Chains A and B, each alone.
Chain A
Amino acid sequence: MIPRTNTTRRGVLALAAAGAAISLLPVPATAQLSAGAQAAVDRVRNNRTAQEGRITLRAPPIAENGNTVPIAVSVESPMTAADHVARIHVFADKNPTPDVATFHLTPACGRAQLDTRIRLGQTQDLIVLAEMSDGSLFMTRAEVKVTIGGCGG
């Protein structure tokens, strides 16, 4: 069952606040990425192995308006000087350019949890990579369905 949602900005915000965005189930990391997204992921990986887990990506499973899709990313971490999330990268597999955002965190953040609003040109996977202060790397990937694409004509 897909709840009907209204697409006004206020409606989207209210829904986001009410928790309509859910934790997306990761999709298997085996499916082929677009060439652009693969290159972007490889740049971050820099020959490291990305582990599963730790990352939670929340977004509407179906976004009616690809121009403004609320996403929330959190990563389990004590966020101490010795052990914290240093960077979180978000990529969109099928956007004209895969880069979405890179967040730079510090222990002063206290926890690793970010919210923003993004554009998605079509239904596609989001890829999130979290780089820890010890150099270890975590990755997750989840699909967001988009009804009306958000890249303009």
Chain B
Amino acid sequence: MAAPIGQPRVRLPAQVRAGEIIEIRTLISHVMETGQRRDQAGAVIPRDIIRRFEAKFEGETVFAMDLAPAISANPYIAFPFKAERPGRFEFTWTNDAGESRSATQDLRLA
């Protein structure tokens, strides 16, 4: 059984002007089990990580990241975006089992 993919948290700046390059900060709760650790009986704890993050704006992929076990638990990812028009972001995190969790957020321009 894959570990749960926790609540995603995404933060956009409160005030965004057209043309501004903003930083989008994301965090998701996840153990990011490396596959290197052993349990008390000495058995390897199987790898179970978020392996892919994808950010879409108005349906188009604008940024993505492939994650390895070397990404810390509760992956934090911050990336830039040039805000030219208002629209909707969809952020998706996918684990080794292919299960995913998404969050949406609207970009409004001042």
In chain A, residues 93-114, which have Cβ atoms closer than 8 Å to a Cβ of chain B? 95-97, 99-106, 108-114
**Distance between Cα atoms of A120 and B36 in the complex (Å):** 13
**Distance between Cα atoms of A104 and B64 in the complex (Å):** 5
- Interface contact A119-B71, CB-CB below 8 Å: yes
- Interface size on B (CB < 8 Å)? 30
Residues of B within 8 A of A117 (CB): 71-72, 75-76
Q: Report if A23 contacts B (CB, 8 A).
A: no
Contact for A100 among B21, B36, B64, B71, CB less than 8 A: B71
- Interface contact B71-A153, CB-CB below 8 Å: no
Interface of B is mostly: strand
Please count the residue pairs between chain A and chain B whose beta carbons lie under 8 angstroms apart in the complex: 103
- Interface contact A109-B72, CB-CB below 8 Å: no
Residues of B within 8 A of A111 (CB): 21, 80, 82
Most buried by A among B23, B70, B72, B76: B70
Most buried by A among B66, B72, B73: B72
- Interface contact A96-B36, CB-CB below 8 Å: yes
Known: A96-B36, A117-B71. A108 touches B81 (CB 8 A): yes
Nearest CB in chain B to that of A72: its residue: B78
**Distance between Cα atoms of A72 and B75 in the complex (Å):** 14
Known: A100-B70, A108-B57, A114-B78. A152 touches B64 (CB 8 A): no
- Interface contact B63-A116, CB-CB below 8 Å: no
- Interface contact B69-A119, CB-CB below 8 Å: yes
Residues of A within 8 A of B77 (CB): 114-116
Q: What's the nearest-Cβ distance from chain A to residue B61, in Å?
A: 7
- Interface contact A108-B36, CB-CB below 8 Å: no
In chain B, residues 6-45, which have Cβ atoms closer than 8 Å to a Cβ of chain A? 21, 23, 25, 34, 36-38
**Distance between Cα atoms of A59 and B37 in the complex (Å):** 26
Q: Report if B68 contacts A (CB, 8 A).
A: yes
Known: A67-B73, A115-B77, A152-B34. A104 touches B68 (CB 8 A): no
Q: What's the nearest-Cβ distance from chain B to residue A131, in Å?
A: 13
Contact for B21 among A97, A102, A110, CB less than 8 A: A110
